[in-house]
Amino acid sequence: MKNGAIEDFLIDEAKLVYKYLLKMGASKEDAEDILQDTLYRTIKNIDSIHEDKVRAWLFKVAINNYYNLYSRKKTMVHLTSEQLEMIKPSSNSAEEIYLTEQNKKELMSALNELKPAYKNLLILKYYMDLSYKEIASILETSEQNIKVYLYRARNTFKHIWEGNHDEQ
pLDDT in tens, 71-128: 766 544 555 555 555 555 555 555 555 556 667 777 778 888 888 889 888 888 888 8
pTM: 0.63
Q: Are 43 and 87 part of one and the same domain?
A: no
Q: Which domain holds residue 92?
A: 79-168
Number of domains in the chain: 2
Last residue of a domain, one of 37, 60, 77: 77
Strand, coil or helix: 82: helix
Residue 37 reports pLDDT greater than 90: yes
State the Cα–Cα distance between residues 144 and 1, nearest whole angstrom: 31
State the Cα–Cα distance between residues 16 and 145, nearest whole angstrom: 23
123 and 23 Cβ atoms separated by less than 8 Å: yes
